[in-house]
A and B are shown apart, each in its own frame.
Chain A
């Protein structure tokens, strides 16, 4: 929640109306604080969201093999999306 609040503040409301561009992102993602905030937000958001989606599917009566495979697919989706986000965030840290 704290990471999300920071993300919202710095990106949208600290300078309302300002359009963020690539160099703005690059400057921010060279600092340890923002890399930490963004990566922890990425991990927590994906975990919480995909787990919530799984719980909703369970409520709709997912059972047996379908349940197991749905869980595996959601985990795989989470890992793939996390790797995509991680690579885009670390791109700036590496080229700093």
Chain B
């Protein structure tokens, strides 16, 4: 595919990285304040992005997504192999996973991850379809409220079960 003639730019001199390194060292040595100011300015500028809920929503979506991928692979491998091994092996595995309060607690973490990733995912789907383009924050918090309600119902049901098994 043709993009037209490549613009002529002066080649970067090979000594430029050395000059840069020298400048950084002199700055660090004689003007610590400059380096500190630079770092502070970088932090302040970056924090303006992280002050918005959108960046946190994206980061949490990614973290929950990765956690769920690893979980789903483990889940399919575990359930698949133990189902194929027969009744006694599968029953032993399930009685551990569904009877032990530690694993029931891990299930609650899984549910939280699924609810967050699903709710934010529906918001992204609507965004891709052009629905609520200008109301992203409101839509995000609405879905989070719905997910929180569902999670509260899950906790209402499961926490007594976990506590009963803990004793």
Q: Which residue of A lies closest to B95 (CB)?
A: A19
Are B69 and A52 interface neighbours, CB within 8 A?
yes
- For B58-87 the 0/1 string (1 means CB < 8 A from A) is 000010011011001100110111011011
Say whether, besides A19-B94, A87-B80, A81 and B62 are in contact (CB < 8 Å): no
Instruction: Check: A1 CB closer than 8 A to any chain B CB.
Output: yes
CA of A56 to CA of B68 in the docked complex: distance in angstroms?
A: 13
Say whether, besides A16-B161, A50-B69, A88-B83, A81 and B90 are in contact (CB < 8 Å): no
CA of A53 to CA of B70 in the docked complex: distance in angstroms?
A: 10
Instruction: Check: B37 CB closer than 8 A to any chain A CB.
Output: no
Instruction: Check: A20 CB closer than 8 A to any chain B CB.
Output: yes
CA of A45 to CA of B121 in the docked complex: distance in angstroms?
A: 14
Contacts of A42 in B (CB 8 A): 76
Are A13 and B154 interface neighbours, CB within 8 A?
yes
Are B80 and A88 interface neighbours, CB within 8 A?
yes
Instruction: Check: A75 CB closer than 8 A to any chain B CB.
Output: no
Please tell me the size bucket of the interface on A: 20 to 34
Instruction: Point out the residue from B84, B98, B114 that lies within 8 Å of A91, measured CB to CB.
Output: B84
Say whether, besides A16-B157, A49-B68, A56 and B62 are in contact (CB < 8 Å): yes
CA of A22 to CA of B84 in the docked complex: distance in angstroms?
A: 11
Q: Can you report 19 residue pairs joining A to B where beta carbons are below 8 Å apart?
A: A8-B111, A16-B157, A17-B161, A17-B164, A20-B98, A21-B94, A21-B95, A22-B91, A25-B83, A50-B69, A53-B69, A81-B73, A81-B80, A84-B76, A84-B77, A84-B81, A85-B80, A88-B80, A88-B81
Residues in chain B within 8 A of chain A (CB atoms): 62, 65-66, 68-69, 72-73, 76-77, 79-81, 83-84, 86-87, 90-91, 94-95, 98-99, 107, 111, 114, 118, 121-122, 154, 157-158, 161, 164
Residues in chain A within 8 A of chain B (CB atoms): 1, 4, 8, 12-13, 16-17, 19-23, 25, 42, 45-46, 49-50, 52-53, 56, 77, 81, 84-85, 87-88, 91
